Amino acid sequence: MRSRLRVALAVIAVLVLALVVPPLISVSHYKARITQIISRSLGRPVRLSSVQVRLLPWPGFELSDLSVAEDPAYGAEPVLHASTVIASVRLLALFGGHIEIGKISVDDASLNVVRAGPGRWNLDPLFRTAAAQTESVQGARHANPLPYLEATNSRIDFKNGAEKLPFSLIDADVSFWQENPGEWRIRLRGQPARTDVSLFQEETGIVRLEASVRRAPALRQMPLHLDLDWREAQLGQLARLVSGADPGWRGDLTGELHLDGTADAAQVTMRLRAEGVHRAEFTPASPLDFDANCGFVYHYAQRSLEKLTCDSPLGDGRIHITGEKPGEDAPPHFTVALDRIPVAAGLDALRTFRSSIAPDLEASGTVSGKLAYAQAPAAAPQESHAGTNGRTAAGKAANREARVVAGPLSGSLTVADFSLSGGGLTRPIEAAKMTLEPVGTSSAPHALPGVVMAQALAGTAAIAAGGAAPLTLNVHLSINGYRVGLHGQASLARAREMANAAGIPETPMLAELSGDPIAVDLTAAGPWIPPEEIPVANVPANGAGNEGSRAPQTQTSMNGQGSGSAGGNVTTDTLTGTVALHNVNWKPEFLASKVVIEEATLHLDNEDLDWDPVAFTYGPLKGTASLTVPVQCPSQTPPQPCPTEFQMHFGDLDAAAVQTALLGARTKSTLLSDLINRIHPSTAPPWPRLEGTADAESLALGPVTLKNASAAMRITATGAEITSLDANVLGGSVHATGTLTKPETDADKPAYALEGDFTKLNATDLGGLLGFHWTGAAISGNGRVELAGYSGKDLASSAKGSLQFEALRGAITAPRATVIPVALNRFDSWSGDAEIANGAVAVKQSQMTEGARKRAVEAMITFGDPPRISFGGAAKEAAAKRK
């Protein structure tokens, strides 16, 4: 009973002391002392706003607004800041009459880790201070050994000099203490974060670190044992954390690292495991997991790596890597051995950077072999000196030839049983075997002038594509990018499938072709990672700024700007070469019938698609053409397809046949109605945008024939605009402009509008057209007309417009049965205006002069084949005089 009473009294006494004593103790005179103690323990200037005494649960001080200053060599921002800090004192030191801080606990603090240069970290002086404190504590009466440091729910930021990096650890728990004299322990747990991108923070994983460090003069010389693991990380969020973007991978990642030694001689082992790896677009039947284990020795001072060994299963195969990197000036050497690595792994890796690859595209097959990388510096160029006989010209030329030296790559890889399916392929693309071996390419990065280095892997395979012989596939692969060549024949259907599977956007032209196999000679090249497109608005005007500030013109479709090769600095994708067509039918939806292409060649370059030459037949139309299809209009924002440019040449044409061929037959009585299907303008798709020229040796317009006709026109979705029409007609020439408007409904008809000038028409030819004998000087004038319809009758009845003409020094006589005005028998000039309407040209205001005499003449020209002409009052007067 007495013992219980004593315990109760002791508890009451402690509570009384805890509640009563602290307010009675003035600690203001301890503030400077406590600040000095913490500053000497950490080796940094310390500031705090207030100090309060606390006895429970352990005697100590509660500090407010603690800030630990940074060494000016590492920046101006405090290395540590915390609003509230608990500093627990050592009781034995307190009983001895002085204060020692045994433990410093902070919560919700901010810590900066700064790297100021190679081997220079702001934590290095802290370790040195700790070592000095440990050495001075022996025999020193008031020495201040490094206290136990701990931080909870805190944030660790990383800086490179004065620049704060976007990477940090949040919700971090950190402990740092001295295990034994001269030995410290570190424990850390935190969640990686990035400040400049949006993340699902719970999916970036948890980092845990356990480390022990022993005393040494410099940080890089301290013996270190470190265990680090990164768990519960999701691949997509981890990629956003590291690179700032999500490449589309999904899966769970775990990483482990163990280090023993010093920074100058560290034995490192690593393990990286991934489970459920797949693309975000789809989940494959068997995800591609891997478990990579690596070990090496790293020397920080020499920046060297030795005894590297990595081993990882991948699918049903395995990768084994060995090598060394002796130092900064010595060349590295590595070997990579592949044993039945699935080709599907490479396709999945490519999908990381290429969103255009179809998500259902699947690859099978394996890759096996061994490659060695052992770069050796090339020998200095040798130049022989001429003797007494001098040096021959042939010797000089031989000395200037490119020298082939041993490249860094050797060995080979074999792709077996390759098969590509899905992606719209009706049957797989297959290649039984392909061997990839190093080849020389003078465009290799850092290649010496005149030296050919082996920097790319090249191989050849045969692929069946529906032609008389298989396609030959040539592949060049390098670190920077790829180059793939296709040569041979392929059926049109197979060519469409292969283009779609390769990520080339489908073009209507390919979908609308049918006929014999095509001959291809194509080369595609590009980087593995497409360049980032820089908006035009960010580019300085007139090329201002540095030369490198110009935005690269990128192209990720079937063509691209710039050039490159598998061994060079490829900047964008390109597709170049030719595609030859023979005996092919083209049936676009906007035409009434098919176009028969006897021969055509498509030339692809980095900017345009050029069809030249094209020999075609379209109904009664037979001609040749060349077309240029620009990929995009750089002058338009945003870029969009430019009009296709064309040049066409015909022999003899009939206007009615041209109209029917383009617009379709409307009635059985219309020309070519048995050859061309009826079309329905209300549902027919619009015409494509076209600009160009068309010329014909002759163009028959009813009774009038244009010779050497040439027209510049612009085809739009609703019709056509003739910007220029020039031709020879009736011994003279005509220049006109006009428009064609397509009918919008079945009840509508195509509408035409023409306006132009005619000059130097031959009077005899014009008279013969009208059924008269006309002699005299040339005839000129101008006019405009609007008409609509499909047949000649429709066009004649709908014609409306006006005409102005002038004829000089002429004479007109008529057949015996025709009555004409007497004034026409001889005149110095005849000029007037006419109105076109009701199927005729009415000359209502015209004046004929002969010397000083002036007379008015009226006439009516009725459309027909041939046209008919009649005269008004003047003709009646002439008839009366003859009577």
Task: Tokens for 633, please give them.
Answer: 């209009």
Alpha helices (runs of H) in 502-648, residue ranges in sequence order: 508-511
Cis peptide before 588 (omega within 30 of 0): no
Q: Averaged over 2-13, what is the pLDDT?
A: 57
Residue 807: HSE in the Cβ half-sphere, 13 Å Cα cutoff? 22
Which of 493, 492, 397, 412 lies closest to 458, judged by CA? 412
Phi and psi at 517, nearest 5°, equal -60, 155
Please tell me which of 48-57, 90-99, 644-653 the model is most confident about, judged by mean pLDDT: 644-653
577 — pLDDT class (breaks 50, 70, 90): very high
Residues in the chain: 883
* CA-atom Rg of the chain in angstroms: 45
- Position 14 pLDDT exceeds 60: no
Cβ neighbours, 10 Å, residue 829: 16
Cα pseudo-dihedral 525, 529, 530, 534, rounded to 10: -150
Structural tokens at position 568: 């060079």
76, 70 Cβ separation under 8 angstroms: yes
Residue 378 has pLDDT above 70, yes or no: no
Token reading at 842: 């009415």
Q: Could you give the CA distance from residue 786 to residue 413 in angstroms, rounded to a whole number? A: 72
Per-residue pLDDT at 41: 72
Render pLDDT for 795-818 as a digit per residue (tens, 0 to 9).
888 999 999 999 999 998 887 767
Check: CB of residue 774 under 8 Å from CB of residue 762.
no
User: What tokens appear for 208 in the block?
Assistant: 């845990």
Bigger pLDDT: 437 vs 668: 437
Q: Would residue 29 be called left, alpha or beta, if left means φ above 0 and alpha means ψ between -120 and 50 degrees?
A: alpha
Distance CA 714, CA 449 (A): 50
Strand partners, 652: 698
Q: Which of 686, 595, 657, 650 is nearest to 790 (CA)?
A: 657
Residue 817 contacts by C-beta under 8 Å, 6 or more apart in sequence? Answer: none
pLDDT, residue 400, reads 43
Q: What number is the average pLDDT over the span 358-372?
A: 90
pLDDT tens, position by position, 831-864: 999 999 988 999 888 888 988 888 888 888 888 7
pLDDT tens digits, residue range 679-715? Answer: 333 445 566 778 999 999 998 877 788 899 999 998 8
pLDDT value for 708: 95
d(CA 313, CA 329): 33
| pLDDT at position 451 | 43
Higher-pLDDT residue of 196, 782: 782
Query: Coil, strand, or helix at residue 770?
Result: helix
Range among 127-136, 509-518, 552-561, 593-602 rated most confident? 593-602
β-sheet bridge partners, residue 878? none
Answer whether residue 339 shows pLDDT above 90.
Answer: yes
Angle at 650 between CA 713 and CA 508, to 5 degrees: 60
Report pLDDT for 399: 46
Q: How does residue 24 score in pLDDT terms, banded at 50, 70 and 90?
A: very low
Q: Which residue has the higher pLDDT, 698 or 455?
A: 698
Q: In 409-536, which ranges are continuous DSSP H helix? A: 492-501, 508-511
Among 785, 850, 844, smallest CA distance to 824 is for 850
Whole-number average pLDDT of the chain: 78
- Check residue 89 and give its pLDDT: 77
CA–CA distance, 662 with 720 (Å, rounded to integer): 11
pLDDT band for 782, please (50, 70, 90 cuts).
Answer: very high
d(CA 582, CA 326): 60
Going from the C-alpha of 604 to that of each of 476, 524, 567, the distances in angstroms are 20, 11, 22
Contact predicate 647/661, CB 8 Å: no
Asked if the bond preceding 445 is cis, omega within 30° of 0, the reply is no
The 3-state DSSP class for residue 536 equals helix
- Say whether pLDDT at 866 is over 50: yes
Report d(CA 196, CA 247) in Å as an integer.
17
Confidence of residue 130 (pLDDT cuts 50, 70, 90): low
Which pLDDT score, from 0 to 100, does residue 792 have? 72
Give the integer Cα–Cα distance in Å for 592 and 477. 47
**Quick one: pLDDT band at residue 269, thresholds 50, 70, 90?**
very high
CA distance 408 to 633: 43
* HSE toward the beta carbon, residue 725, CA cutoff 13 A: 21
Asked if the model's pLDDT at residue 187 lies above 80, the reply is yes
Rounded-to-integer distance, Cα 134 and Cα 180, Å: 10
With CA atoms as reference, report the closest residue to 227 among 276, 166, 268, 180: 268
Cα angle vertex 172, ends 167, 177, to 5°? 115
Strand partners, 604: 577, 609
**Does residue 210 surpass a pLDDT of 90?**
yes
The three-class DSSP label of residue 519 is strand
Could you report the per-residue pLDDT of 211-233, keeping only the tens digit for each?
998 877 776 778 999 999 999 89
Name the residue among 474, 563, 579 with its Cα closest to residue 525: 563
For 355-504, where are the E strands, in sequence order? 362-374, 403-404, 409-421, 429-441, 451-463, 471-477, 481-490
10 Å CB burial of residue 7 (0-12, 13-18, 19+) is exposed
The dihedrals phi and psi of 789, each to the nearest 5 degrees, come to 130, 175
Per-residue confidence at 663, pLDDT binned at 50, 70, 90? Answer: low
Tell me: pLDDT of 873 over 80. no
Q: Over 70: is that where the pLDDT of 591 sits? A: yes
Using the CB atoms, write b or e for 128-147: b if 16+ within 10 Å.
bbbbebbeebeeeeeebbbb
* C-alpha distances in Å from residue 195, one per residue of 157, 242, 560: 10, 12, 35
- What integer pLDDT is reported at residue 686 of this predicted model? 65
pLDDT tier, 235 (very low <50, low <70, confident <90, very high otherwise)? confident
Average pLDDT, stretch 95-101?
64
Angle of CA points 659, 665, 670, to nearest 5°: 85
For the chain, what is the total number of helices (H) and then of strands (E)? Answer: 13, 45
Query: Cα(24)–Cα(371) distance, rounded to whole angstroms?
Result: 79
Determine the pLDDT at residue 407.
66
Is the CA virtual torsion 46, 49, 52, 56 positive or negative? negative
Between 287 and 259, residue with greater pLDDT:
259
Contact partners, residue 482, CB within 8 Å, separation at least 6:
475, 476, 524, 525, 526, 528, 566
297 close to 265: Cβ distance less than 8 angstroms: yes
Beta strand pairing call for 595-604 and 574-586: antiparallel
Give the pLDDT of residue 428: 92
| Residue 188 near residue 207 (C-beta atoms within 8 A) | yes
- Strand-pairing partners, residue 181, are none
Judged by DSSP in three states, 348 sits in helix
Predicted local confidence at residue 377, as pLDDT: 54
Q: Which of 363, 409, 401, 355 is nearest to 382 (CA)?
A: 401
pTM of the predicted protein model: 0.65
Q: At what angle do helices 124-137 and 28-42 cross, to 10 degrees?
A: 110
Of 636 and 418, the one with more pLDDT: 418
The pLDDT of 31-38, averaged and rounded, is: 76
Query: Three-class SS of residue 798?
Result: helix
For range 327-346, the mean pLDDT: 88
Give the HSE-up count for residue 437: Cα atoms under 13 Å, Cβ half-sphere: 5
